[in-house]
Chains A and B, each alone.
Chain A
Amino acid sequence: QLQLQESGPGLVKPSETLSLTCTVSGGSISSSSYYWGWIRQPPGKGLEWIVSISYGGSTYYKPSLKSRVTISVDTSKNQFSLKLNSVTAADTAVYYCARSGRYLGLIYFDYWGQGTLVTVSP
């Protein structure tokens, strides 16, 4: 059974960089059939897709966040990572990593991590 697990600091200071890693187990991140992505959810609010990456490094970004987001993949560790720079309190959210299909008709999210709360505060 595929499992995804987020890890990273739970507290980040304003203007600094949020860094999270998602470790995939029970399956290979190197499958050509899938993309790996990040979705966030501010406390009490809805879901927002941020970015997705393939094992080969192809990426799709939410346009409004693209200038602040970096995503990378480490196939040797079966991990992918998110960096969000210049954070503000508005970036406080539960961050989820998730898997989607590769092609347009399949890019819904079928496996999710449990989520990790990141708070932006001095």
Chain B
Amino acid sequence: DIQMTQSPSTLSASVGDRVTITCRASQSISSWLAWYQQKPGKAPKLLIYKASSLESGVPSRFSGTGSGTEFTLTISSLQPDDFATYYCQQYNSYSRTFGQGTKVEIK
């Protein structure tokens, strides 16, 4: 399986801050990476696919970049609704794997 490693595991930030989360793959996955947001007790929600394509209905303050083995999710101006846990997921193969998650907390 391809291993996905996110950093940091926890991030403390304030409303209005620019936030960046990194996801690294153990081997090249081209641009086959998705990002999800999960709030407590809820299912994950797709934010970004193909590394940088914004899912319909997702605010434009979310953006994704990267290819190969290194990827980033950026929230340009953190909003109260954005405090959640974020997961990356590779789909370079049918054996899909997720990162361990990054929790974005209120500072």
Closest chain-A Cβ to B89's Cβ sits at a distance in Å of 6
A: contact size bracket: 20 to 34
Measured in the bound complex, the distance between the Cα atoms of B26 and A29 in whole Å is: 34
Chain A neighbourhood of B55, CB < 8 A: 110
Contacts across chains A and B counted by CB atoms under 8 Å: 58
Q: Could you mark each residue 94-120 of chain A with 1 if its beta carbon is under 8 Å from any beta carbon of chain B, else 0?
A: 001010100011011110111100000
Interface string of B4-17 (1 = CB under 8 A from A): 00000000000000
Is the C-beta of A63 less than 8 angstroms from some C-beta in chain B? yes
**Max chain B CB contacts within 10 Å: which of A62, A108, A113, A115?**
A108
Q: In residues 61-101 of chain A, which contact B (Cβ within 8 Å)?
A: 62-63, 96, 98, 100
CB distance from A64 to the nearest CB of B (A): 8
Say whether, besides A107-B91, A113-B43, A114-B43, A49 and B49 are in contact (CB < 8 Å): no
B60 interfacial contact with A, CB 8 Å: no
* Partner-A contacts on B (CB < 8 A): 1, 32, 34, 36, 42-46, 49-50, 55, 87, 89, 91-101
**Shortest Cβ-Cβ A-B pairs, 3 listed:** A112-B43, A108-B34, A60-B94
